[in-house]
Chain A
Amino acid sequence: MKVLISGNEAIGEGAIQAGCTFYAGYPITPQNELTAYMAKMMSEIGGTFIQAESELAAINMVFGASAAGARAMTSSSSPGISLKQEGISYLVGCELPAVIVNMMRAGPGLGNITPAQGDYFQATKGGGHGDYYLIVFAPNSVEEAFELQKQAFDLADRYRNPVLILGDGILGQMMEAITINSQSQRTSLRSKQLTTNSQKHWALTGCKNRQPNIIRSLFLKEGVLEKHNKKLQKKFAEMQEKEVRYEKINIEDAEVILIAYGTMSRICRGAMQRARKQGIKIGLIRPISLWPFPYSVIKEMACLNKRFLVVEMSYGQMVEDVRLAVEGKSKVDFYGRGGGVIPQEKEILQKINQISKCKLKT
C-alpha cells in the first residue's frame, strides 16, 4: 500500500512495524510529528507512550523498558539529544539496545529550528562520556528513513547497543510516498517480533526458574572494567566490519567526487547532474552509515587519484573523517554553511567549477 507520509511519521511507522512497544519523549521542534504519531499508534497497538518530564527522564524510561526486554525508542532534536547523552552512555555500558532519533536543528545552544548537520561529531564519536560508539544511520529520503528505522531495531538487539538515526528538519518535515505493509501483514510481523523480545535471556523479567539478572555498568574490581570494555570494543570492531553502508553514483569515470550525507546529498546530486551536463566528470559518494564510516571506499578512490569535495550543512565535521580516509593521498576540498542555511545547487556547482579548473591546470 502506497501512502504519502512525512519523514517523522515514516520513522514512527517503521518503529511500529519493527515491534517497538515503548516510546518516551519530550516535545522539541522539528520532530514533534514523530512524538504525536507514536502517541496515536501506541494507544492503538496497546504499547506504551509516555510524555516524559524531561529528555533525561525519557532516555532513562527507555533504559528501563529496554532492560525489561521491550523494543524501546526515543526521539528528539539537537539540544534534547545533548541532554540524553548521559542515558545513552549508560545504555552502551549496560549493553542495552535502544533506537534514538535525532532530527538535527541548528546550534550551538538553542540555535534555531532550521535544519543543520552540526551534530555529526556528537553522533559519530560517542557523544557522552566513556569509550563507545553507536551505529549511526543517515537516511536521505522518507522511504529510506522508514527502512533504516526498522533495521535499527534489529541491529540494536543484535549488538545490544543503541542505534542512532540522524536526520534533519527537512527529512522530518518533507512528505514522500512510501510502500507500507497492510494491516494484517503488520500485525503478523509485530507478533513475530514480540515473541523474539520475550527471548532476551538477559532481560529483567523476574528470576523465575533462573539465576537473577543484573543490568550494570559499574565494575569496581581491578581489571574487570577493562575486560568489559574490551568486550564492547569487540562489538564495535564487528560493526565496523559488517555495518558499513554507502551509495556511490557516477564513480567510474569521475575525476572529482562529491561526498555528502542526508538532505545535503540530495542537493549534491542535483549539482552533480548539472556539472555532468557541463562535461565535468563528477561522481557522488553518500555515506549511509556515518558510524561505521565508509573509510575503505574513499581510500580506494583516493588511491585512484580522484579529488574530493565534501559538502555539509555545518562548518566541516564529516570532512575530518574523509581526510582520515584519504590519508593525504589526494586533495580534499570542503564547502559548507551553518546556522540553518542550506547550501544551494548553484553554490555547489560554483565550487565544483573552481575545483575542476584547478584540476585542469595541474
Chain B
Amino acid sequence: MQTEDLKLKMMAQEKIKSLRNVPMHYCPGCGHIIVHRLICEVIDELDIREQVIGVAPVGCAVLAYDYWNFDVAEAAHGRPPAVATGIKKVEPDKIVFTYQGDGDLASIGTAEIIHCANRGENISVFFINNAIYGMTGGQMAPTTLIGQSTTTTPQGRDIKRNGYPLKVCELLSVLPGVVYIERVALNSADNIIKTKQAIKKSFQIQMKGKGFSLIEILSSCPTNWGLSPAEALKWVEEKMIPYFPLGVINYKGNSD
C-alpha cells in the first residue's frame, strides 16, 4: 500500500488532464470532490479521455460537466442508465459511465438501474451513496439509515413508516447480467485508494467488453448531516459501513 500512497501523492502534484482547473461548488468535506478527481485520474491513467462519455445525474453532481474535461450528457432524474444505454449502443467503442446519487439511482431511477444491469449493458456505474438528498436540502434518501434524522424524518427514519435503507449492491448482485459490483468508502486514505482501484477495474472491465459493473461509494455530506467534515468521516465509518458492508459483492471472471 505504501507504493500506492506514494503514487497517489505524486498524482496529486501532476495536472490531471480530465479535470478542469476550476473551483468546485461542493461544500467542504463533500465526497463528490474526491470521486470526481478519482474518476479523472483513472481516465488519465488509462489514457481514454478522448473516448469517454459521461452521464451526469440530477442532484448535487449535475454540474459535474463543469469539472470534467470530456464529453458529458445531462440526464433527467433517475434516467442516466437509459441515456447511457442509448449512447453505448450508438457508440459501442466509447467508454460510457453514469454518475448517480442515491436519490437518482436508488429511488426515482430504480427501474432504470435494475433493467440496465439485467440487460448486462457494457457500461460503468458510479453510485454515490451519502444517505441523504443533498441538493434539495437534506430529505430522507432510500439509503438513509434507520433512526437517521432528515428534514422529512425529523424523528429519525422509522422502519414502520419508511421501510429499510436499500442495499443496491446486494439487490443487483443476484442478476446474471452483472459482471462486477463492489462497495467502497471515502472515509480514509486506504479506502480512497481502494475506491480508485475499483473505478479503474470497472473501466477495464468495460474496455474488455465484459459487461455491466457498478461501484457504490459511501460518501459524506457534512452539510446535511449537520456534522463537521471530520465528524462526517467518522459517521461513515461507524454508522454507514456496518449497514453497508464494504468489499466485492459480485465479480465474475478475471479482469486482467
Contact = CB atoms under 8 A, between A and B. Distances in A.
Interface of A: 21-22, 24, 48, 50, 52-54, 56-58, 60-70, 72, 86-87, 90, 94, 204-209, 212-218, 220
Given A53-B115, A54-B111, A205-B94, A63 B86 contact: yes
- With a 10 A CB-CB cut-off, give which of B62, B70, B86, B91 has the most chain A CB atoms: B86
Interface in B39-86: 49-53, 55, 62-63, 65, 68-76, 79, 82-86
B1 interface: no
B65 A53 contact: no
Contact of B52 (A67, A90, A206): A206
Interface in B199-246: none
Given A57-B111, A205-B91, A72 B50 contact: no
Given A57-B85, A216-B73, 7 more contacts: A48-B90, A52-B82, A61-B89, A63-B83, A64-B87, A212-B71, A216-B65
Contacts of B63: 218, 220
A118 B169 CA distance: 44
B98 to A, nearest CB: 10
Contacts of A218: 62-63, 74
Q: Number of contact residues on B: which range applies? A: 20 to 34
Given A62-B86, A204-B71, A218-B62, A68 B79 contact: no
B69 A67 contact: no
Contacts, number: 134
B133 to A, nearest CB: 17
Contact of B82 (A21, A60, A205, A215): A60
Contacts of B55: 64
- With a 10 A CB-CB cut-off, give which of B53, B72, B114 has the most chain A CB atoms: B53
A64 B71 contact: no
B50 A215 contact: no
Identify the 3 closest CB pairs spanning chains A and B, nearest first: A64-B86, A60-B82, A65-B86
Nearest to A52: B82
Interface in B85-144: 85-91, 94, 111-112, 114-115
A22 B86 contact: yes
Contacts of B69: 207, 212
B75 A206 contact: no
A64 B112 CA distance: 13
A60 B112 contact: yes
B72 A212 contact: yes
A72 B72 CA distance: 19
Nearest to A96: B73
Contacts of B51: 206, 208
Contacts of A58: 82
A207 B85 contact: no
Contact of A87 (B50, B76, B114): B76
A214 B91 contact: no
A52 B70 CA distance: 28
A215 B73 contact: yes
Contacts of A209: 50
Contacts of A57: 79, 82, 85, 111-112, 115
Contact of B79 (A22, A56, A208, A213): A56
A218 B71 CA distance: 16
A221 to B, nearest CB: 11
A57 B112 CA distance: 7
Contact of A67 (B62, B68, B86, B115): B86
5 contacts: A48-B89, A57-B82, A70-B90, A205-B53, A213-B71
A65 B90 contact: yes
B168 to A, nearest CB: 17
A216 B94 contact: no
